[in-house]
Amino acid sequence: MVHKVIFIVLLVGYIVGEVKPAEKQEDFLIFTVATNETEGFKRFTRSVRANGLVDNLKVLGLGKTWKGGDVKKFAGGGQKINLFKEALEEYKDDTERIVLFTDSYDVIFIGSGELIIDKFLSFDARVLFSAEGYCWPDKSLASKYPETNRGKRYLNSGGFIGYASDVYAIVSSSDIKDQDDDQLFYTKIYLDDELRKKYNIKLDHKAEIFQNLNGAVGDVELRFKGNDAYIQNTAYNTVPLIVHGNGASKLVLNSLGNYLAQAWNLEEGCLNCWDDTIELQKDQPETYPVLLIAVFIEKPTPFMEEFFERIYAQAYPKSKLHLFLRNNVPYHEKIVEMFVKEHGDEYKSLKQIKPDDNINEVTAKDLSIDYCLQKKCSGYFLIDSEAHLDNVHTFKLLVEQQRGIVAPLLVRPFKAWSNFWGAITDDGFYARSSDYMQIINNDRRGLWNVPFVSNCYLINATLINNKATRPVYAFGDLDTDMAFAQANRERDIFMYVSNRLEFGHLVSPDNYDIKLTNPDIYQIFDNKLDWQRRYIHENYTENFNPNHTHIQPCPDVYWFPIVTDRFAEELIQVMEAFGKWSDGTNTDPRLSGGYENVPTRDIHMTQVNYEPQWLYFLKEYVRPLQELAFTGYYHDPPRSLMNFVVRYRPDEQPSLKPHHDSSTYTINIALNRAGIDYEGGGCRFIRYDCSVTDTKRGWMLMHPGRLTHYHEGLRVTKGTRYIMISFVDP
């Protein structure tokens, strides 16, 4: 019975032409050297496992001290050969067994052992080294290389494969010091005609197994076959099985590593997101790790109240949160102090740095890290005043992700600006990666290894505790964000950005002018989302519900909720702070004709520099309502030359005589409260003998201008009444 099964297996194998001694794949050995279990090393072993080869892997040197020098900058790496030689000794007489050696921190396996072995056998070599386009470390040897008509010419020792006996003979052919260069060692053997023939050494010129990326980034493309990612070498039309981010190409490897080896696929999305994650139980707040929340306010920033509200709203036990508040903007002191007064003592501890302390940003960042250590934090969560965490679970989700550095993806709404860079130029500046737009638009969701994160991120305290990995915020004349990212890149500390879920957004401080009264109300262009949340009436969208019956207090006079109480109050403050109300006479130098037939006491939007914002408001929020109320009339954008706030009071101008407006339609927004802030007032439409007196703050009346809606402003008997008027499409 057993024999029959074996026979059938062999027969099937024979028919599909893949008969191979079964022991080949099992005997196949993969050696690598790693002295530290870095994130790059974890990525490597993950890829080996994903290709079913984890039992074939032998890791050399773990926990040992690296003596091979700084191979990024200088030659070195002889220690790799010495470790390999030692490990290979037991196989030195094995002429059948195939062994493969690769680096680990910057290597990813893409193909199965079977494919690798098949490819190797097709070379008809005893030993095959990977190849690259640079002759390193001794350029003068370039001319000694045999001619190649196609492919990369020079040997790279970051990956090679061969029969155990031959590989052993090579590594033991002479002694090498730990700090000597391993690539030079192998190169010399390869360039010796006699030895090359003796060991039958060949180079993988066309990346059939080994793809070295340095100098060859343009040769490769990330592609998908079915759901899975692979790389295609378009220069030589090959599909490499092992990719090596040598030299300057490691950031490209990091990007590819976001997809390769089943890290991410088209159907299931992010698979490596689930590696090493933990779950924090809602009902066990005592198990949550302690975080330091380090808030940095470095420049005047709009919507600070909302910023603090969102930090406060985070669903994370406050008994597990220390707070470090660094504010360097006197203008924001009030809001910071308000937050501290209201909520400060709910946190485990609180430390403040104020504008008066005269501490620069780098020092403040250092102090915050020291504070984290002093409080024995488990994580350091930095957040800039621009970062709004709309998702109340952000702290928790990022902790559960368990990465050294992880940022929530935050984007400026409607813009392509975010808190990460997908790629970087050689001189350290922004470059757009091919998947950048897909990530910020959430067409691809996942956890992305990227070369730059800023504004908001969680750093695990294990990194902070170690001098070699503690965050750095000063680096030449780079700004603190650039310095931080640059130092992490140099130390091979991965920075991840997550868009597995929505976390929040960035506000833009670019055109924020704190010299204005209520500067946030001016932010409709730069920060439309936040502006809308703060200033547009919460029932505004209800106007568009098809089931909604629009209120008409008088014939063809519509009444819509449009702005918040806050908007109304702030607009009045803007006007009163400006204070130059017109005198109510017919002479009006603000008008092109200099004459006003029906004068009011008012201030024009142009006078408080609010005209562009107001016209945009008309276009974005008023026009759609007009189209609902008066169907068939379509003017986009609406035009309006007269936009102003009117003030009625008994001792100034209490009322307005009957008149027509020179407009197609007029809007009239009540800015304060009838019966509370003033008495009397309202608007009477004479033709219908219909008055609206119980006006509601934040609600807008909309009525036709000429002909039908002859109207008057009713007398205010007490207090002050404010309304906002526009004559649209005069």
Tell me which residues touch ligand NAG (CB under 6 A): 36, 65, 289, 291, 378-379, 399, 402, 460-462, 466, 468-469, 538-539, 545, 547
**Residue number, 262 or 469, with CB nearest to ligand NAG:** 469
Task: Look up residue 618 and give its DSSP letter.
Answer: I
Helix (H) or strand (E) holding 676: none
- Shortest distance, CB of residue 539 to ligand NAG, whole angstroms? 4
**Residue number, 62 or 142, with CB nearest to ligand NAG:** 62
CB 712 within 8 A of CB 656: yes
**Residue number, 272 or 666, with CB nearest to ligand NAG:** 272
Amino acid at 437: M
Query: Quick check: bond before 330 cis, omega within 30?
Result: no
Q: Using CB atoms within 10 A of its CB, is residue 279 exposed (0-12), middle (13-18) or buried (19+)?
A: exposed
**Residue number, 466 or 585, with CB nearest to ligand NAG:** 466
- Residue 90 is encoded by which pair of tokens? 């037991």
**Residue number, 402 or 655, with CB nearest to ligand NAG:** 402
Give Cα separations from 104 to 33, 79, 126, 240, 412 (angstroms).
Answer: 7, 14, 23, 17, 37
**Residue number, 212 or 460, with CB nearest to ligand NAG:** 460
- Shortest distance, CB of residue 709 to ligand NAG, whole angstroms? 26
**Residue number, 273 or 399, with CB nearest to ligand NAG:** 399
Q: Using CB atoms within 10 A of its CB, is residue 499 exposed (0-12), middle (13-18) or buried (19+)?
A: buried
Residue nearest to ligand NAG (CB): 379
**Residue number, 402 or 552, with CB nearest to ligand NAG:** 402
- Shortest distance, CB of residue 551 to ligand NAG, whole angstroms? 12
- CA separation for the pair 139, 472 (Å, rounded): 35
- Shortest distance, CB of residue 378 to ligand NAG, whole angstroms? 4
- CA separation for the pair 619, 629 (Å, rounded): 15
Q: At what angle do helices 164-171 and 78-88 cross, to 10 degrees?
A: 130
- CA separation for the pair 660, 648 (Å, rounded): 19
- Shortest distance, CB of residue 16 to ligand NAG, whole angstroms? 46
**Residue number, 605 or 692, with CB nearest to ligand NAG:** 692
CB 336 within 8 A of CB 374: no
- Shortest distance, CB of residue 248 to ligand NAG, whole angstroms? 19
Q: Which of 567, 569, 568, 595 is nearest to 582 (CA)?
A: 595
- Shortest distance, CB of residue 253 to ligand NAG, whole angstroms? 17
What residues have CB less than 8 Å from 619, skipping those under 6 apart? Answer: 636, 637, 638
**Residue number, 604 or 697, with CB nearest to ligand NAG:** 697
Write out the E strands in 477-547.
495-498, 505-506
Strands 665-670 and 678-680 turn out to be unpaired
- Shortest distance, CB of residue 38 to ligand NAG, whole angstroms? 6
CB 514 within 8 A of CB 331: yes
Q: Which of 365, 381, 408, 384 is nearest to 303 (CA)?
A: 384
6: left (phi > 0), else alpha (psi -120 to 50), else beta?
A: alpha
